[in-house]
Each structure stands twice: as structure tokens, then as C-alpha cells.
Chain A
């Protein structure tokens, strides 16, 4: 009898579980960020009974994207996939594999207003008609970190971080003279010194609105201004003012350990720097070249968005829309922004955080948003969309390394980067024509 009752109870439980619609979410957030992400899913699951979001960590950004591609080919893709910004063109061209977010929202009858999202963020992930294709999730932008103690030691005003690259040069000289081993380093060389350099000075990275207007785009990063900037960095390296640290975020540890006095890297590094630095530091706008007219414009983002995969049931899409609405809600966004250091993706979340006085308490936390919204984005500064940009960025970084190690001059290297990059773009165009 007892056995029978247990079996019946188990059966009841299992039907209850089955009634809940499962939504699989593949992501690349590890460590503390992964914990925050799991919290989002847990809280959403607790807030209602119909849907259950199941987050799965699938490795680094390229790894989870490769996993999703393999899963799609095998017919078992997840519902939601977190894709980094350089994968945007690839996802957009996979028309049969993805479900555009604006379309999914419309079909599910979910209220959705793209204008609520920060223009600098949404623009990056919209088609040329302004339709949002994927949901902005974690966005950051490069900012300029300064070790105030090192500035003091060098006899510089710690409250005045260099605004232009000219001022930067003067400060660098004094820091070097004060015995600073490493004066300046940077994370993400291509993202900071080519992509954001272009947007910040309102210069095109490629034709066709940086590729947003079509796949028949070409790189334009060998312009005199680009060459001059890279060549300036090479000069800095020669004088011992600039130390190259590698292609990802290796530079950040060198800053918070005190080895390097200045750093340009992701605004997302703030939490880590705040935790580890044993000195006073400030977060500032990226330096700019004042001889270039219109600078500074606005910077562009990096990070990732959530793409919805195709071929799922309408009820499941309904669940995804509910989850997305939850993620974009002001409280959730403001909480995520404060906990992770990523940019708040909606205007309302930014306002709410500001009003609550958070930015007075944590100076610098709003620097990324302010830099992204410095001016209304232009065709040059709303984002970029280059096919196979994982390879494209690698080419740019290889060529920059050739300059910094003294193997090539800046002009030759940037010409080579454009030529090799364009070959990659043509391959992508050929592979993705209808």
C-alpha cells in the first residue's frame, strides 16, 4: 500500500515537473560572474512556476559558440546562447539558425521598446532598420585607469589624469623618470587601440558603416590617423613608456599589482582592480588626439548578448520572452550593473542607479556609461560588424605585435592588416551569399 502511494506521489511530482517548460541557456560566465548569472536564473525561476531557466557554462566565448554550432548541426541547440560581440556578424548571417529578438517579442505579443535600451549598446546589435536582433546582456567599454599613488610619487597631480595623448606623453615621461618600471600597458590591443580608437575619433573602421550596412565591407584601418596612433604606441614602447602584455586581459593584473601605473582595458575589470589594488586609482575617459576634429566622440562596447536559437516551440519562446523581460527590468539590470561592473543596458536602470547615489559612493562606476553616451553615435561609432572577425581581430593583433616588437613599421603593418583582413571578409561574403 505504502509502495503504491509513493509511486503515485512520484508520478504526480513528475507530471508537475514536466508541466514546467525548460529553457536551456548556454553561457560563458565563469567565477564570480557565473555565480551572479546563476542567481538571475534562480530568481527568475522562483518568481513564477511555468518556466524553468537552466543555465549551463559552456567554456569561453569561442568555445560555447562552437558548441552551439555543433549542437545546431545535430539538431539540439539550446534556446538561449550568449555570444560575444565579435560573433555578431556570424550569428546575424545564420538566418535559419537564429530567431531575431524583436520578431520573437512581436510573435509572443510581449511589450518591447528598443528605445529603452542604451543607444550605444542597442545599435551594435540592431539590423540597419533598427530592429534589435539579440538581447544586450553584459556590455563593457574600454576605460583609462590611473594609479594615483604613482602619479603623486612622480610629482603629478593625482586628480588630473591625462585627457589627451599629448598630456599622456608628458605624464609618461615623468612617471618613467620617477623610477616606474612599467608606465603604461593595455588589455585587448585591437579593441582598445583600433576599434575604440576609431569610434572615439569618429573614424571608420571599415566601409559600409563598419560593416553594418552589408558584408561587402572593407577595412579602413590604414588611414593616416590610424597609422599615426599605432606608430605613436611603438614610439612609447621604444622609450619604455608602453609595455605590451598580450591580447586579452593579462595587462589588468600588471596594473593592480602596481607594476604598471596606467592601463587601458575593459570597464569590466573594475571589480577586480578594486578588490586587489593596494593603492588609490581613478577611472577616466580614454585619452584622445586633440588635433583630430570632433574627438572625443563616443566609445563602443564589447561583451556579449543573448541570441535566441530557431526551431523551438511557441510555448518555449513565450518563456524566453518572459525571461528577457525579467532581465531587462530596472531592478534586475541595476543589480547586475552594480554587482558585475558591466554597463546597465537600459536607460531606466542607469537613472535608478544614479538617483540612488551609487556613483558618488563608487567613483568611476559610471565612467563607462558616460563614455558610451558622450555624444549620439555616428555611423563610425555605433558599432562594427565584420564577418569572421575572430580571425580578423587576430590578424590586426598579429600586425600590431609586429610593430611593437620592431619587426615592421606602422604603415606596412596596418596595410598588411587591411589586406589580410579584407581577404577574410571576402571569404565570409562568399560563404554567406544567398
Chain B
């Protein structure tokens, strides 16, 4: 028989929920509603003159070929960040899980980058890859490779992906490691006795058993790529060259915070909100079916 604890009081459960709901309302729903409200308005920087313009902000956005272009950029960027981030973290976690001596040291080092702020991560990588003085640039030049992300779109994209992935690997690593440790050893040992090699054991036992973790990380990483990476971009390429790393969130930040165009920036964040809601819904609807809990 299922055991259930039920509150007898009518108001107590609501009272206990209230703080959480209040935080959500104030810090998530209120700004979201405000963004939607501003997206229908045209305002001067100081907010002295406000006009209701209906969908004009959205119309202006979708007339702009560069805005449409940044959808493609964002898709590529998110796929690379989520794909590389999850792939590399999984590899590292599987390796770290096999290490017996000094395991704690390895794990600590691997988790470290998570404590670094995105902007700092961006600056670090920008220094390493700086077009004239960066150490890695220097090494690449000696190897005969022309590293110049200030003008080369692909290199700029590579740079922001590397910086963003590096930042997120620790987080992914932590979850994978926990996931790996919860897989019963007996299963793997049984497979080994049956003659399954390490690769086979990984793909037929470990990977399917990790799928809830992988799925969770997929959602989190895509949200990360969409929303949390503007610090990295601001510290390195600032959307350049010629808009090659202009992802949607960076344009929201740039137009709103730096250029004081509240209406345009709000319209963009509403579009972004719609995309992420849709993406998350799709992930839960279709990808989750393949997950084995």
C-alpha cells in the first residue's frame, strides 16, 4: 500500500509553498511580463516618451536580415556548445570513474572551472587566443596557421564555443560522475564475464542507464548556450566579426543594456523566450521517450 502524508489543514500547504511562489513571481514572471509589455512599446532612452506601437518592434526585427541570420548562428552555437560540452564531460567522467588512486584530486580539478564567472572565462580565453600577443596564437603562428579571429568568422565561433564549453564541462562532469557511480557494478561485471569488451559494455549498459542524466544535461546545456553565454561573448568577440558570433542573447544584451533600445531588446527577449519554451517542450515530448528511467 502506498504511504501518503496529507496536510489536514487547508491553508498550511499553501503557506509553505508561498515563499517559493513569491520568488518565482517576483523574479521570473514579473520581468517576463514586463518584457512582453515593453516589446509593444517604443520608448526614448530616458523613458520620457512612450508610445504603444503594437507589433512594430517585431516587424522591424524580422525585416532585418541580420537578425534572421543570428538564428542560424545561435542554432549552430547551441548545438556545438551542448554537443561538445556533454561529449567531453562524458568522456572525462568515464575516465575519472576508473581512476582509483588520487581520484579526489582529479575530480576537484575537473570541477574547478565551474567556479569561474563567464566573463572571467571569456577574458582568460581571449588572452590565450589574442590575435597578436596570445600564447596559443603564437604557437599556432609558429605551426604555420594563420590565427586571426578578429576577421575570420569560423575562428571566432571556435573561440566562443571553446570558452563556453570549458566553462560548462565541470557541471556536466559532476552529473555524469554521480550517474556513473549509481550504476550497479554487478551489471557491468556480469557483462564482462559474458565476454563484452569495454566499448560494448559502455554502449549497451552504461550509456542507456545514464540516459536520464544525459537528457537532463541536454536541456540544461541548451538553456545555458541560449541564455548564459553573453558574458563570454562580450569579453571576447562582442558578436563580431561582421555578426559571426552574434547569438540572440548577445543582441538582446547589447541593444538593451549598451544601446538603450528597450523596445527592440524586449521584443527580442520575447522571441527568445518563445524559442526556448518551444525547444524545451520538443525535448520533453520527443527526446524523453528515448530515456530509460
Task: Please tell me if the beta carbons of A431 and B42 are within 8 angstroms of each other in the complex.
Answer: yes
Residues in A neighbouring B47, C-beta threshold 8 A: 69, 72-73
A257–B259 Cα distance when bound, in Å, is 33
Task: Please tell me if the beta carbons of B260 and A65 are within 8 angstroms of each other in the complex.
Answer: yes
Binds B, one of A91-99, A169-177, A330-338, A350-358: A91-99
Task: Please tell me if the beta carbons of A247 and B238 are within 8 angstroms of each other in the complex.
Answer: yes
Q: Does B241 make an interface contact (CB < 8 A)?
A: yes
Closest to B56 in A: A430
A93-B44, A398-B240, A405-B242 given as contacts; is B49 within 8 A of A66 (CB)? no
Residues in B neighbouring A95, C-beta threshold 8 A: 48
A245-B131, A401-B241 given as contacts; is B60 within 8 A of A427 (CB)? yes
Q: Does A402 make an interface contact (CB < 8 A)?
A: yes
A434–B48 Cα distance when bound, in Å, is 10
Closest to A408 in B: B242
| Chain A nearest Cβ from B61, distance in angstroms | 11
Interface of B is mostly: loop
A397–B241 Cα distance when bound, in Å, is 9
Task: Please tell me if the beta carbons of B264 and A427 are within 8 angstroms of each other in the complex.
Answer: yes
Q: Does A151 make an interface contact (CB < 8 A)?
A: no
Q: Does A407 make an interface contact (CB < 8 A)?
A: yes
Q: Does B132 make an interface contact (CB < 8 A)?
A: yes
Contact of B150 among A246, A391, A402, A433 (CB under 8 A): A246
Task: Please tell me if the beta carbons of A405 and B46 are within 8 angstroms of each other in the complex.
Answer: no
A257–B258 Cα distance when bound, in Å, is 31
A388–B42 Cα distance when bound, in Å, is 13
Which positions 19-71 of chain B face chain A at CB distance < 8 Å? 42-49, 51, 53, 60, 63-64, 66
Closest to A98 in B: B46
Number of A-B contacts (CB under 8 A): 104
Task: Please tell me if the beta carbons of A96 and B48 are within 8 angstroms of each other in the complex.
Answer: yes
A62–B45 Cα distance when bound, in Å, is 12
Q: Does A253 make an interface contact (CB < 8 A)?
A: yes
Mark A390-402 against chain B: 1 for CB-CB distance below 8 A, else 0: 1100100111011
| Chain B nearest Cβ from A409, distance in angstroms | 13
A401-B241, A427-B60 given as contacts; is B264 within 8 A of A66 (CB)? no
Q: Does B151 make an interface contact (CB < 8 A)?
A: yes
Q: Does B123 make an interface contact (CB < 8 A)?
A: no
Mark B204-245 against chain A: 1 for CB-CB distance below 8 A, else 0: 000000000000000000000000000000000010111100
Task: Please tell me if the beta carbons of A391 and B48 are within 8 angstroms of each other in the complex.
Answer: no
Contact of B263 among A94, A390, A431 (CB under 8 A): A431
Contact of A427 among B49, B132, B261 (CB under 8 A): B261
A247-B240, A398-B242, A405-B242 given as contacts; is B261 within 8 A of A391 (CB)? yes
Task: Please tell me if the beta carbons of A66 and B48 are within 8 angstroms of each other in the complex.
Answer: no
Task: Please tell me if the beta carbons of B153 and A398 are within 8 angstroms of each other in the complex.
Answer: no
User: Contact residue range for chain A?
Assistant: 35 or more
Contact of A244 among B43, B151, B259 (CB under 8 A): B151
Task: Please tell me if the beta carbons of A401 and B240 are within 8 angstroms of each other in the complex.
Answer: yes
Task: Please tell me if the beta carbons of B48 and A94 are within 8 angstroms of each other in the complex.
Answer: yes
A250–B258 Cα distance when bound, in Å, is 20
Which positions 164-217 of chain B face chain A at CB distance < 8 Å? none
Mark B256-293 against chain A: 1 for CB-CB distance below 8 A, else 0: 01111101100000000000000000000000000000
| Chain A nearest Cβ from B266, distance in angstroms | 13
Residues in A neighbouring B42, C-beta threshold 8 A: 427, 430-431
Residues in A neighbouring B153, C-beta threshold 8 A: 405, 407
Contact of A62 among B43, B151, B258 (CB under 8 A): B258
Contact of B49 among A246, A402, A432 (CB under 8 A): A432
Contact of A259 among B60, B132, B254 (CB under 8 A): B132
Task: Please tell me if the beta carbons of A432 and B46 are within 8 angstroms of each other in the complex.
Answer: no
Which positions 121-153 of chain B face chain A at CB distance < 8 Å? 131-133, 150-153
Residues in A neighbouring B46, C-beta threshold 8 A: 69, 72-73, 94, 96-97
A97-B48, A253-B132, A431-B49 given as contacts; is B243 within 8 A of A245 (CB)? no
A223–B70 Cα distance when bound, in Å, is 29
- Most A-side CB within 10 Å, residue of B242, B254, B261: B242
Residues in A neighbouring B261, C-beta threshold 8 A: 388, 391, 427
- Most A-side CB within 10 Å, residue of B48, B152, B153, B243: B48
Task: Please tell me if the beta carbons of B238 and A388 are within 8 angstroms of each other in the complex.
Answer: no
Task: Please tell me if the beta carbons of A94 and B150 are within 8 angstroms of each other in the complex.
Answer: no
Q: Does A404 make an interface contact (CB < 8 A)?
A: yes
Q: Does A290 make an interface contact (CB < 8 A)?
A: no
Q: Does A90 make an interface contact (CB < 8 A)?
A: yes
Which positions 54-70 of chain A face chain B at CB distance < 8 Å? 62-63, 65-66, 69
A69–B43 Cα distance when bound, in Å, is 12
A69-B46, A431-B43, A432-B44 given as contacts; is B243 within 8 A of A90 (CB)? no
Q: Does A420 make an interface contact (CB < 8 A)?
A: yes
Which positions 83-127 of chain A face chain B at CB distance < 8 Å? 90, 93-97
| Chain A nearest Cβ from B1, distance in angstroms | 58
A84–B253 Cα distance when bound, in Å, is 19
Task: Please tell me if the beta carbons of A423 and B44 are within 8 angstroms of each other in the complex.
Answer: no
Residues in B neighbouring A182, C-beta threshold 8 A: 132
Q: Does A148 make an interface contact (CB < 8 A)?
A: no
A413–B133 Cα distance when bound, in Å, is 30
Residues in A neighbouring B242, C-beta threshold 8 A: 398-399, 401-402, 405, 407
**Given A66-B258, A391-B261, A431-B44: 5 more A-B contacts, CB < 8 Å:** A97-B48, A182-B132, A245-B150, A250-B131, A405-B152
Question: Interface residues, chain B, CB within 8 Å of chain A?
Answer: 42-49, 51, 53, 60, 63-64, 66, 131-133, 150-153, 238, 240-243, 254-255, 257-261, 263-264
Q: What are 27 inter-chain pairs, A to B, with CB distance below 8 A?
A: A63-B258, A66-B257, A66-B260, A69-B45, A69-B260, A73-B47, A93-B44, A93-B45, A94-B45, A94-B46, A96-B48, A97-B46, A97-B48, A245-B131, A245-B132, A246-B150, A247-B240, A257-B133, A388-B259, A394-B259, A401-B151, A405-B151, A407-B153, A420-B64, A423-B60, A431-B42, A433-B49
Question: Interface residues, chain A, CB within 8 Å of chain B?
Answer: 62-63, 65-66, 69, 72-73, 90, 93-97, 182, 244-247, 250, 253-254, 257, 259, 388, 390-391, 394, 397-399, 401-402, 404-405, 407, 420, 423, 427, 430-434
Closest A-B pairs by Cβ, 3 of them? A401-B242, A402-B242, A401-B241
